[in-house]
Structure 1
Amino acid sequence: MEKQSIFTFLKKYSFIGATLLIFLAGCQGNGGEESTGWFQSYFVEPFSMVIVQTANFLGNNYGLSIILITLLVRLAIMPFMLNQMKKSSEMRKQMDTVKPEMDELKKKYSDKKDVDSQRKMQQEMMELYQKHGINPLASLSGCLPLLIQAPILLGFYYAIRQTPEIATHSFLWFNLGQTDLLLTTIAVLIYFLQAKVSQIGMSPEMRKQMAIMGYLSPIMIGIFSFSSPAALPLYWSVGGAFLIIQTLIAKKKYM
């Protein structure tokens, strides 16, 4: 628990919150076919148009269209995500450096629970951060990539749901407009693997704290895919596979 400072806590759970937001928001309502507003106009409808035009360019192949656009979207936001991972790695190294002194500070105040002592401990903690050049608020900038990608991914999600042409086409062995058990299973396995890959290099304590995400993401993907047309688990499978590669690149580059 020594690494559970306020900013690592916020950073970790902002990721969980953003993930939940992306999936839960995407599974509300009836698909938003009659929804209006700026989000519909500037995100959903343009994505829907791009899906149709790309499919036409690819010989009316909507499966390839979804795959290609998913990869292009992920590539577009990849620099932001890699930058976030780089900052996370740098912050983790800084926290490893300050850990011995942090442990001493916590030990010093372990039996002092009064408000005054707790205030002094927080003050000394901030002085310790300053001594080592650690800015707690700087870690919150890691939320920026999540804020950038959320409307993009949600817009693409809704576009897949709201583009009627998709449901009338097949891809590989499945109909894009019908639920497919095998594709759902593939999506679940990919996101389970992605969660495991993201834990590479973490300390045993951190892996234990993040274990819930290792099960939450694939469970959510599975639940949503069982009640969704196959176009959506196709989108999730491609996106999840891309995330695995992106995470491996970041781990090799910044660890």
Structure 2
Amino acid sequence: MDRNSVTGMILIAIILGLFWWMNKPSEQEIEALKLRRDSIARVEALSAQEAAQKADINQQAVTQELQATPDSVLHKRKTDKFGIFSDAVDGENEFYTLENELLKVKFSSRGAKVYSVELKEFTNYKDDPLVLFDGDQNVFGFNFFYNNRILNTNDLHFTVDSDASNDSTLRFKLNLGANQFMAFDYKLSDQSYLVDFAIVQNNVDNLIQANRGGFDLDWKMDVIAQEKGRTFEIQYSGVYYKYYEDVVDDISGKSGDEDFRTPLKWIAFKDQFFSSILIAKDKFAAGKVNLNVYPEEGNSPILSTNTASLVIPHAGGMQNEKAFQFYFGPNKYKTLKKINGLDLEEIIPLGWGIFGWINKFAIIPIFNWLEGGIANYGLIILLLTLIIKLVLFPLTYKSYMSTAKMKVLKPQIDEINKKIPADKAMERQKATMALYSKAGVSPLGGCLPMMLQMPILFAMFRFFPASIELRHESFLWANDLSSYDSVLDLPFTIPFYGDHVSLFCLLMAITNIVYTKMNQEMTASTNQMPGMKAMMYMMPVMFLVFFNQYASGLSYYYFVSTLITIIQTLLIRRFIDEKAILAKLTANQKKPKKKSGFQARIEEMAKQQQLQQKSQKGKKKR
């Protein structure tokens, strides 16, 4: 990037800043807007109050009418409307619990559904029990046709079959006649996050009709905020789904919806670190999903409302059973990977392509190996960083050597720049490339080793915010390595930066500035690209702003990684003799050197430029 580009960017930033300042509302306009919003809020509150009063009046009228209506008439109305299901419409909701070492799952007889789920090994950021959902935050039921009416199991009251239930199994039964019933079976095994779920139909095929060759499943769930950093919890939450015998896809980070015309294997309502997943033993024929994300500034305890409408294939038959599984548990790679053949681990955003491969086949195995013998995750990150830097040391050394060669050649490059004026850029470039070629130096020699390290840096960028292992793990002043570390809470919010100061992020920015300064001292051609020097110092400042709200474990890793690189550079510099390097390069220049294809192309371009210049001068003389 040249000086003009940098100047242009600065001017654009100044213009945008002035535009924002000139167009920002005055205090009077802000006050007027506030009064308008307050007025609207009062009107809406009054309207809601009036609506509630009308609803109460209507409810009282309905209650009075029902009280005045004989029981026999009410019973006949209900029978005419719901037929054999009339006894299941009304009833008292009863609760039952299945529990193991990991889960506490509560069920309600109304709808025979999962009512609440508690993960016993985890807490939320307030250190309260971690509940995935509770009560009306989970709506789950199947639609079917009966007597030309659409009924939903979520509105029906089931009874528990004591003969088919025990400490690990529950059977909710809806008796519809002699040896005619529909049952929902649940089973929770020891040391498992999986809940087996089956729908059993016995001799009811003539009573319950499917729609379009299948039953419609409606599932709606409110995802509760569990973490301190709401911004990144939303970013890493969403609806994930796997196409039958195909890839995993998702809607995440923002509201959206998707219609499916092809079968699905499973669907997951995912938080940053926990998920509720419904898995079909066979498949879902089709369906649609929706993600509705709540605004961050609303401070709602709910992150999003997720809904799914899925079609369960139904071929008919007097005895019929459809099997499913629920997964209620952490988004832990090793745990999800053990559930073979389902690709559930794909809900963890480890990065695409080579970044994901590095995480799956290198970073996670090393991390899990260290985790087996070390309890402190700060030390684990430190050792992981040391291992990575040790593996990458040959590339670091090669990059430094290339930079050192460029540095010792700098006086000769400066001499070329003095002899050849700046308006003859191609001629100057030709002479510089000829010098590099004779000396045996590649201008890209320092860049390529650094480029080869970039995939690991990006892989770690995805790894730390998605690693549940770091959740609520403290190190030094950071009480949660999966969230930001605040050493100072600000009384105001700085745009893009936030309302706190992250010390690990600050240390990371400082070490990057130091490393940038060391690189600038080693760079041989800074005079050719003055704008790049300023840009290099802007990067640490951008990191300071960007990473302030990121996981402190990530900032800590980048800080330690850069610090180790600085130490490596100082050690290499101490043991390398630049005079010996210059002597070797000088000897190389005296040897006959075959032109490379790249150099030949540069020279040919220079010749063409010279010919064009001569041609233009000849035309002017005429």
Q: Tell me the TM-score normalized by structure 2.
A: 0.31
Instruction: Sort the Cα spacing of 1:211 and 1:102 in 2 relative to 1 into closer, same or farther, 3 A.
Output: closer
Look up the match of 1:103: 418
Match of 2:447 among 120, 133, 143: 143
Look up the match of 1:185: 506
RMSD of Structure 2 on Structure 1 (CA): 3.5
**Structure 1, unaligned runs of 5 or more:** 5-26, 111-117
Look up the match of 1:49: 365
Please list the CA deviations of residues 68-115 of structure 1 after superposition, one character each: whole Å capped at 9, or x if unmatched: 1112111221221221221222133234224324422227xx5xxxxx
Find the aligned partners of 1:129 and 1:50 in 2 and give their Cα distance. 43
Judge which range, 200-209 or 83-92, deviates more.
200-209
Find the aligned partners of 1:123 and 1:218 in 2 and give their Cα distance. 36
Bigger proportion of residues as strand: 2
Instruction: Sort the Cα spacing of 1:159 and 1:97 in 2 relative to 1 into closer, same or farther, 3 A.
Output: same
Q: Which amino acid aligns with 1:195?
A: T
Match of 1:93 among 400, 408, 412: 408
* 1:108-147 superposed matches below 5 A: 110=423, 118=424, 122=426, 126=430, 129-130=433-434, 133-134=437-438, 138-147=442-451
Number of equivalences: 217
Say which one has the larger Rg. Answer: 2
Q: Contact conserved, 1:198 with 1:247, CA < 8 A, in 2?
A: no
Look up the match of 1:218: 540
* 1:51-90 superposed matches below 5 A: 51-58=367-374, 60-90=375-405
Look up the match of 1:21: none
Q: Contact conserved, 2:404 with 2:522, CA < 8 A, in 1?
A: no
Q: Which amino acid aligns with 2:368?
A: V
Q: Contact conserved, 1:195 with 1:213, CA < 8 A, in 2?
A: no
Instruction: Sort the Cα spacing of 1:185 and 1:48 in 2 relative to 1 into closer, same or farther, 3 A.
Output: same
Find the aligned partners of 2:351 and 2:436 in 1 and give their Cα distance. 50
* 1:226-241 superposed matches below 5 A: 226-241=548-563
Please list the CA deviations of residues 196-215 of structure 1 after superposition, one character each: whole Å capped at 9, or x if unmatched: 23333568965965542553
Q: Any idea what SS the aligned residue of 1:87 has?
A: helix
Find the aligned partners of 1:96 and 1:254 in 2 and give their Cα distance. 17
Q: Contact conserved, 2:403 with 2:522, CA < 8 A, in 1?
A: no
Q: Which amino acid aligns with 2:367?
A: I
Instruction: Sort the Cα spacing of 1:222 and 1:254 in 2 relative to 1 into closer, same or farther, 3 A.
Output: farther
Judge which range, 149-158 or 65-74, deviates more.
149-158
Find the aligned partners of 2:379 and 2:348 in 1 and give their Cα distance. 23
Q: Which amino acid aligns with 1:93?
A: V
Moved over 6 A (4+): none
Instruction: Sort the Cα spacing of 1:73 and 1:126 in 2 relative to 1 into closer, same or farther, 3 A.
Output: same
Q: Any idea what SS the aligned residue of 1:57 has?
A: coil
Find the aligned partners of 2:436 and 2:506 in 1 and give their Cα distance. 47
Instruction: Sort the Cα spacing of 1:125 and 1:147 in 2 relative to 1 into closer, same or farther, 3 A.
Output: closer
Look up the match of 2:221: none
Find the aligned partners of 1:66 and 1:217 in 2 and give their Cα distance. 24
Q: Contact conserved, 2:385 with 2:560, CA < 8 A, in 1?
A: yes
For residue 183 of structure 1, report the CA deviation from its aligned partner. Answer: 2.1
Find the aligned partners of 2:414 and 2:351 in 1 and give their Cα distance. 51
For residue 65 of structure 1, report the CA deviation from its aligned partner. Answer: 0.9
Q: Any idea what SS the aligned residue of 1:231 has?
A: helix
Look up the match of 2:476: 172
Judge which range, 201-210 or 136-145, deviates more.
201-210
Q: Tell me the TM-score normalized by structure 1.
A: 0.69
Q: Contact conserved, 2:382 with 2:557, CA < 8 A, in 1?
A: yes
Choose between structure 1 and 2 for higher RCO, CA contacts under 8 A separated by at least 6 residues: 1
Instruction: Sort the Cα spacing of 1:208 and 1:245 in 2 relative to 1 into closer, same or farther, 3 A.
Output: farther
Please list the CA deviations of residues 168-200 of structure 1 after superposition, one character each: whole Å capped at 9, or x if unmatched: 311122121221122222222222222223333
Find the aligned partners of 2:435 and 2:523 in 1 and give their Cα distance. 25
Find the aligned partners of 2:359 and 2:436 in 1 and give their Cα distance. 46
For residue 232 of structure 1, report the CA deviation from its aligned partner. Answer: 1.0
Instruction: Sort the Cα spacing of 1:247 and 1:48 in 2 relative to 1 into closer, same or farther, 3 A.
Output: same
Q: Any idea what SS the aligned residue of 1:84 has?
A: helix
Q: Contact conserved, 1:87 with 1:142, CA < 8 A, in 2?
A: yes
